[in-house]
């Protein structure tokens, strides 16, 4: 019997904390990421939430195998460091998280990119269990991706292989992305870019989007359904951009299955059928069609992936 694991998914909006025991998420709680102020100020809150979660399960640190964090950005999983991350958690690369983990809990520490962790969770325990060639595309604040090729979770020399699909160029005459590149998938369709995409739409001044305190994809899909012109155009462009990303991922990694996940997935029921249709029509796969599927653990795949890593790190 393997020891339970503390797992943390460091999202841009919420930080999710879970306890996984015998491959089951027995407890989870989310705290506000408050990520505009960086990660360091959130660490005491994370520590408190972890301790409370353990207490609720009547578990103590010595019962646990370790703690694993799924983080956005580029993560050096060997040195256990965040190398590069969006400015919201801009101080993270300067924090020694392994030391924090040891001092706070006395536990061994593991860290991995969040999309890679989510794919690992679905690959080991979820939708992709029977496949050795899978890509994941997570639609949310950004567009996260990861790839398993011939049974290997791609990491690459500098830990960026597989995870930068959201920064594939899909509009080479496009605008500059947060990452410094031009015309990335994320600059064409992602939650962080959505307000400026909406503001630049020709029909925006006539759109109900204008009256909202903040524009998100839930509103875009809802208003598009109601006939709002700007919302319909943004929905169409976003679906096209995500389909282009999916096709490039298929062309890059030759998967049997494309897993779609992330916060936006709940907003539009048309996303999966649209991407399935486009990949079947346009991806160069003379052997047949890539299965386009949703995650078994849409909210917790990264937690499962980290549990797998913590439990198997020394095997």
With tokens 């198997």, the residue in question is: 312
**Residue ranges that bind a copy of itself, judged by CB under 8 A:** 74, 83-84, 132-133, 149-150, 152, 154-162, 164-165, 167-173, 179-183, 188, 240-241, 243-245, 247-248, 251-256, 281-287
Supply the minimum distance, in Å, between the C-beta of residue 51 and a copy of itself. 34
Nearest to 36 by CA among 13, 70, 10: 13
For 22, counting Cβ atoms within 10 Å of its Cβ (0-12 exposed, 13-18 middle, 19+ buried), the class is exposed
With tokens 């486009």, the residue in question is: 278
CA 61 to chain centre: 28
Supply the minimum distance, in Å, between the C-beta of residue 30 and a copy of itself. 29
Q: Identify which of residues 119 and 307 has a Cβ nearer to a copy of itself in the complex.
A: 119
198 with 234: CB under 8 angstroms? yes
Nearest to 165 by CA among 258, 70, 286, 285: 258
DSSP annotation of 283:
S
Q: Identify which of residues 16 and 81 has a Cβ nearer to a copy of itself in the complex.
A: 81
Q: Identify which of residues 6 and 85 has a Cβ nearer to a copy of itself in the complex.
A: 85
Q: Identify which of residues 66 and 162 has a Cβ nearer to a copy of itself in the complex.
A: 162
Side-chain half-sphere exposure of 114, counting CA atoms within 13 A: 24
Q: Identify which of residues 218 and 251 has a Cβ nearer to a copy of itself in the complex.
A: 251
With tokens 């339970």, the residue in question is: 4
| Nearby residues of 276 by Cβ (< 8 Å), 6 or more positions away | 292
Supply the minimum distance, in Å, between the C-beta of residue 288 and a copy of itself. 8
Backbone angles phi, psi at 33, to 5 degrees: -75, -30
Supply the minimum distance, in Å, between the C-beta of residue 142 and a copy of itself. 12
Give the SS3 label for residue 173: coil
d(CA 17, CA 6): 7
Q: Identify which of residues 3 and 182 has a Cβ nearer to a copy of itself in the complex.
A: 182
Supply the minimum distance, in Å, between the C-beta of residue 195 and a copy of itself. 21
Q: Identify which of residues 227 and 286 has a Cβ nearer to a copy of itself in the complex.
A: 286
Supply the minimum distance, in Å, between the C-beta of residue 165 and a copy of itself. 7
d(CA 93, CA 41): 14
State both tokens at 51: 């301790």
Supply the minimum distance, in Å, between the C-beta of residue 126 and a copy of itself. 19
């Amino acid at each position: 019997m393997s020891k339970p694991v503390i797992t943390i998914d460091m999202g841009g909006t919420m930080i999710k904390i879970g306890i996984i025991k015998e491959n089951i998420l027995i407890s989870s709680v989310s705290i506000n990421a408050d990520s505009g102020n960086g990660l360091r100020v959130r660490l005491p809150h994370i520590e408190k939430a972890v301790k409370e979660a353990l207490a609720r399960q009547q578990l103590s640190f010595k019962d646990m195998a370790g703690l694993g964090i799924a983080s956005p950005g580029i993560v050096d999983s060997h040195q256990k460091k965040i190398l590069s991350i969006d400015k919201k958690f801009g101080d993270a690369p300067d924090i020694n998280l392994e030391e924090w983990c040891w001092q706070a809990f006395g536990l061994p520490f593991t860290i991995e990119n969040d999309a890679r962790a989510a794919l690992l969770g679905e690959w080991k325990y979820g939708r992709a269990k029977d496949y050795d060639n899978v890509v994941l595309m997570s639609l949310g604040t950004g567009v996260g991706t990861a790839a398993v090729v011939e049974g290997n979770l791609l990491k690459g020399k500098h830990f960026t292989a597989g995870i930068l699909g959201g920064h594939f160029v899909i509009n080479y005459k496009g605008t500059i992305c947060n990452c410094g590149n031009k015309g990335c998938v994320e600059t064409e369709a992602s939650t962080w870019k959505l307000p400026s995409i909406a503001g630049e739409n020709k029909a925006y001044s006539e759109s109900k989007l204008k009256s909202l305190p903040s524009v998100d994809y839930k509103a875009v899909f809802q208003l598009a359904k109601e006939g709002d012109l700007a919302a319909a155009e943004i929905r169409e462009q976003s679906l096209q951009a995500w389909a282009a990303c999916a096709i490039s991922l298929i062309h890059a990694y030759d998967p049997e299955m494309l897993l779609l996940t992330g916060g936006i997935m709940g907003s539009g029921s048309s996303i999966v059928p649209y991407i399935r249709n486009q990949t079947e029509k346009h991806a160069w796969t003379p052997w047949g069609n890539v299965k386009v599927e949703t995650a078994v653990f849409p909210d917790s795949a990264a937690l499962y992936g980290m549990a797998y890593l913590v439990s198997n790190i020394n095997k």
